[in-house]
Structure 1
C-alpha cells in the first residue's frame, strides 16, 4: 500500500517481485491527473507486481499492456489484475523493456525502471537486484527508455517516468525534449533511504553522488508529451 491509493485486500506482493513503494505511488498520483480517451492504450514498462497496470485499468484505460523481464512479475501482474476484476483489460508479457510491444503505439506509457547507481558496469541478468541496479550513473535503463519510448507514443501521447535525483533528471528532460516531446519535471518528493541505498551509501558518497551523512534522496516524475 502506498499514499494516495487503496488496494484490495488480495493484492499479491510475493518475495522477489518489486512491491509498490514511494516511486510507484508518485506515478499512480501522476496517472490520476491524466485524462484518458475512450479506449486508451496504456503501457506499463517494468510492471513488477502490476500495481500501475491495475491503477491504469481502474482509471479507465481501454487496454493495458504490461511488460517485465521476470516471469514471476508477469505472473503476479496477471493475478493481481484478475483479483482486481480487470483481467480482461490487462495483458502482461515477458520481455526486455519495450521488445514485447515493438511496432505498437500508446496513449500513455508509465515506467518505474531500475535507477539505483551501482559499482558493477554490467546489469544483473536475474535476481532481486535486477529491479534496481542501473550501472555506475544509474542511467543504464533510463537512457534506453529515453531513446526508445518516443517512437511508441501516439499523437498527444504521454510518458510518465519516475527516478531519483541522483540520476540527473536534467539529462532525462534534455533527451526527451531532443526527441520532440514537451517535457518537464512535474513531481518531487524526498524520501528516506531504503535498505539498498543505506547499504550502498559509502560507495555513493565516495563517488560524489551523495553528501557525507546524507540519508534521504529526492524522487522526481518526468512527464513528456508528443504534440498532437
Structure 2
C-alpha cells in the first residue's frame, strides 16, 4: 500500500480526519437483511477508508466505532459488534502493521471484556512504532464522559496539593483527555445524512470543519473521502478570527 504524493499545487491533506460511521442498520434494512449484515459491510468500509487515508497522506484517522450510548442497544446486537471487534483485532492488525499503521484505542476499557482488552493491548504494542498513519478507534467512548473524567483528574490533583486551582487551563484539561498526544481533528465527517455529532470528540472538535454525507457508511470509501477533503479545502478556516 503506497502513499500517493500530493500533486504539485494541491493543498496538503488534513492532518487529522475523524469520522462518525453511521448508517449500517439502514443499509441492511433497505436490502431486507439483518443489522449484522450492515455491520459486516461496515467493517469492509473501515478497511477501504483506512487504506485510502494512508494513500492520501492523512496522518491521523479517528473512527467512532462504538459509543458509550451503544451499550444500550439490544444485547444480541452488542454481542455481534463485540464479535466483529474481536475479528478485526485478530485479523487486521498484522495488515495494519505491515503497512506502517499505528493502532490506538480511546474510550472506557472497563466495560470491555478482558479478552478484548488484551487484544487491544497487544495490538497497540505491536504497532506502536509505526508512523505512516495513526488509526484511532473510539470504543466505548463518549465525549462528555471523557471531559468528566479529565475534570475528576484535575480535581484530585488539586485536592492532593499537586496542582493549583488557578493553574487549570485548556492545556491542563487537554493533557488529561484520551487524545492528549493526538492533534485535534481538522475535519469531522458524518455519514448517512444525519447532522449531529453524537457525543464525539466534543472538546477536540471545537474548530474542526464538518462535512455531512448522505452516503451510508457501508458504501463509504476513497471517493467519498476525497469529496469531503475537497469540501474541506474550500473552507476559510479562521479559528474565531474576524472575517477578512
TM-score (norm 1): 0.31
- Higher-Rg structure is 2
Greater fraction of residues in helix: 2
TM-score (norm 2): 0.30
Greater fraction of residues in strand: 1
